[in-house]
Amino acid sequence: QPEDISSSSGNAKEIKGGENIVVHAVDGTVSSKDIPTLAFPSISTADFQFNHEKAADIILEKVEEFVNKVENARLVLVDLSHGSKILSLVRAKAAQRNIDSNKFFTFVGDITRLYSKGGLRCNAIANAANWRLKPGGGGANAAIFSAAGPELEVETKKRAGSLIPGKALVVPLPSTSPLFSREGVTHVIHVLGPNMNPQRPNCLDNDYVKGSKVLREAYTSLFEGFASIIN
């Protein structure tokens, strides 16, 4: 039985990955492991210094909205370590809500290695971007641009030169990108969250009325972007 990934287009493709991974996308039939999946980091909670407790509430509110609306899709909140505060908060709060654990769960791992290191297939990954949509900086942004190769910067530039806080930009990856060939990721969705770090542009100076509104908008745009590539 060949390994397979879902294909939003339904076209048959064969992607040869590193080591012994041969991935076949099949003809539209969906088995449980083919469910369109978006992996996302917690937007704004590291470099952008957004309050974790407030962010966790917003993540769950937005996740719940999405999973109640979209039938055949999964969302996965990812962070690098088992000690992740945001993952613990979200897990604890999710347990108190009525969220289907097949449609939303947390996962520990590098968002650029979810399949090759963690065995988790994700069609799309979200990037906690900067407003210039540039590689580097740190965190998820640096890791994703570096893992995707120059293709991501080229494809991003074709679509936009910058991003407003609260907005997302869907970027299809060419099959030559290692994120596609090795990990099976077909789309990166850049998201710009609210910034509470005075060292970074557009700092909201602890204005959590504005900040929470922008973080909600960011997740709405991200999940709408994801919905647009699976429908």
Burial class (CB in 10 A: 0-12, 13-18, 19+), 135: middle
CB–CB of 124/39 below 8 Å?
yes
Residue 55-94 contact track with ligand AR6, rule CB under 6 A, x = bound: -----------------------xxx-----x--------
Binding flag, residue 43, ligand AR6 (CB under 6 A):
yes
User: Least Å distance between CB 186 and ligand AR6?
Assistant: 18
Distance between CA atoms of 130 and 142, rounded to whole angstroms? 10
Distance between CA atoms of 89 and 26, rounded to whole angstroms? 37
Taking Cα atoms as reference points, which of 209, 100, 227 lies closest to residue 170? 227
User: Least Å distance between CB 135 and ligand AR6?
Assistant: 8
Residues 196-215 that bind ligand AR6 (CB under 6 A): 200
Q: Alpha helix locations (H) across the chain?
A: 52-69, 85-95, 139-148, 150-159, 178-183, 208-230
Candidate segments 5-13, 41-49, 55-63, 172-180, binder of ligand AR6 by CB under 6 A: 41-49
Determine which residue in the list 137, 149, 172, 174 makes contact with ligand AR6, applying CB under 6 A: 137
List contacts with ligand AR6 (CB under 6 A).
41-48, 78-80, 86, 110-112, 128, 130, 137-141, 143, 193, 200
